[in-house]
Amino acid sequence: MLTGTFRLPADGLARALPAMSAMLAASRAEPGCIAYAYAQDLLDPTLIHVVERWRDRAALTAHFATPHLAQWRAQFVVLGITERNVGLVEGEAEST
């Protein structure tokens, strides 16, 4: 699982939504994607939380090589995305 955050300018969410939506749709369509989500922080609207769940490391590695991820990253400067902090969290699977 990958989790983390990134920050948008105070007025940047509306401008970033089309790119964020495209990234979500393309990532969710990838083989091995279990979950891929962005969520705006309720107390800090400039902070976006990221959660990704992948079937295995191979699926995640394939995700890193996709054109839509490269396109998303190329838009960071234009969209004013800063303080990107996303990392891999490994551990035992949760049970419900």
pLDDT tier at 96, thresholds 50, 70, 90 = very low
For 3-39, write each residue's pLDDT tens digit: 999 999 999 999 999 999 999 999 999 999 999 999 9
Q: What average pLDDT does the structure give for the chain?
A: 93
Q: In angstroms, how far apart are the furthest CA atoms of the chain?
A: 41
Domains of the chain: 2-88 (3.30.70.100)
Tokens read off for 13: 């969410």
**SS3 state at 90:** coil
* pLDDT(68) > 60: yes
Q: What is residue 93's predicted lDDT score, i.e. its pLDDT?
A: 53
